[in-house]
Structure 1
């Protein structure tokens, strides 16, 4: 549905987007994932029409989108702050965009009633934003965004203002809403767990570029660059002559002693000292200091750990648990700046 091809953009000497290409399918829930300053919000603003790229093209159903003014694009943006009108009731907030389009009152009423029912806020229609919880305000913002029936809904860090429990509930709510209303969603987030739980496909961004686009499981199990391997989930990165070997903490087996006879040792074997053990309910996280490695090896085991800090252990992993990725290519410096 959306094709982004070769899009680049700068703010002065700062490179925000660097030859970005990405496809977004009809009805897809996609995510842009990356650290602060990687360009993901700038790309969102290009789609919304708030930024005009220096190069590249964006099409919707094959038609040029960049030439369409923001208010005429079938695209809606839900802001991180929710941006609700404090003096208006919930139903007036939701109806505002439709009223601006001068739709018939009956149609406005029907569409507002329907969307409030969808997000579970019918009983709160007459309340004002300050009378709602954070999760309820977020639902109002969502209702206001989807009531206009956009082809594409852009969500900029939509859950960052919520506490952990409400955020987990709203992740489920967002997925339910997206499937129910059938609108294509594109969410921007720096939260890996959020992206992995929400999206059908994730595009990982770094320094204005897309490093990899894949389904969450593929992205986690088979990263294609060193940045993705290190950014998506916890990972152990072992440098080698031809690149980097990545092994997830849950794939590493730990045993006391030298590990002789361990059937998993064919993939790799290290010996080190446990420097930290922490219990996280269903799993224990261990950090093992290994000679000649810059950082401790991370290990995740089910339940409480049997080993303690200071203990000598042997680590191993099966061959198919190791993923080999090329070393990162340095990003060329921007003209006029120091490398």
Structure 2
């Protein structure tokens, strides 16, 4: 439905968007994920009509979207601040855009009643924003956006103002609303968990460029490049030589478990990533072949699981692993670590021969 082709936007010497190309399907819940300053909000503003790109095209159903004034586009933007009118009731806030378009009162009443029911605010229709909780105000803003029935709804960090519990509830609510309304949603967020739980597909941006577009599962399992591997979830990144016979030869550490390299081209120098949940403890005395030996540095308990950091001689950063429930070890313990070779994902080929272990 939406085709973004080589869109570039500069602000002085800063390139906010650098030849960005994306396709968004009708009815899709699409997320733009990246750190602050990566260009995701600028792209949202281009689609809304608040920014004009220096080059590139944006089409909706094959028609030039950039040629339309903002108020003529079948696009609605839900602001991060919600921007509700404090002197208006919930139902008047929702009806405002329809009234500005000059729709008949009967149609306005019907559409407002319908959307109030959809977002579960019928009982609060006569209240004003200051009488509502943060989650309820967010629902009002959503209702005001979808009541106009746009083809595309843009959401800029929609859940950032909510506490953790309400945010989790609203993530489910957003998915339900998107499904019921049948509107294409494009959400901008820097929260990887939010993007992974909401979106059908995710575009990861960094420094104005698209680094990878994929489903949440594939993005997590098969990151392409160092940035995506480090930004989407925690990761252990090892640099070395991927052997055609199997294993990753890390200078000063040894051969770590990894799938065989490309036999046709021989050994490959590059980076591989191993997720913390794929690393297990081995017996440091009984498993002489355990690839890594180290000392437990720190343990973080999260209720259902524990994140354990282990310092390993030869690596400049601790190796992270996740264990179910309370940690089976204590800080200072000597441990051995291992993982299945298929868990080590090649993320980047490089000419570097140094060792690096990082985590996101």
TM-score range, shorter chain: over 0.9
RMSD: 1.3
Give the conservation status (yes or no) of the 8 Å contact 1:259–1:315: no
Distance 1:137 1:59, change over 3 A: same
Q: Which residue of 2 aligns with 1:295?
A: 317
Q: Which segments of 5 or more consecutive residues in structure 2 lack a partner in the other structure? A: 242-268, 352-360
Q: Which residue of 2 aligns with 1:28?
A: 28
Q: Which residue of 2 aligns with 1:321?
A: 343
Give the conservation status (yes or no) of the 8 Å contact 1:235–1:298: yes
Q: Which residue of 1 aligns with 2:16?
A: 16
> Structure 1: how far apart are the matches of 2:112 and 2:326?
51
TM-score by length of 1: 0.93
TM-score by length of 2: 0.88
Offset of 1:308 from its aligned partner? 1.1
Residue pairs, 1:151-300, within 5 angstroms: 151-241=151-241, 242-258=269-285, 260=287, 269-300=291-322
Instruction: Note the alpha carbon deviations across 1:288-320, whole angstroms, 9 max, x for none.
Output: 001121210001011222211111111111011
Q: Which residue of 2 aligns with 1:337?
A: none
Give the conservation status (yes or no) of the 8 Å contact 1:258–1:271: no
Give the conservation status (yes or no) of the 8 Å contact 1:259–1:314: no
Q: Which residue of 2 aligns with 1:133?
A: 133
Distance 1:144 1:328, change over 3 A: farther
Distance 1:141 1:288, change over 3 A: same
Distance 1:176 1:135, change over 3 A: same
> Structure 2: how far apart are the matches of 1:166 and 1:32?
22
Give the conservation status (yes or no) of the 8 Å contact 2:271–2:350: no
State the number of aligned residues.
324
SS of equivalent residue, structure 2 residue 166: helix
Distance 1:328 1:182, change over 3 A: farther
Offset of 1:256 from its aligned partner? 4.0
Offset of 1:62 from its aligned partner? 0.5
Residue pairs, 1:64-103, within 5 angstroms: 64-103=64-103
Offset of 1:139 from its aligned partner? 0.2
Q: Which segments of 5 or more consecutive residues in structure 1 lack a partner in the other structure? A: 330-339
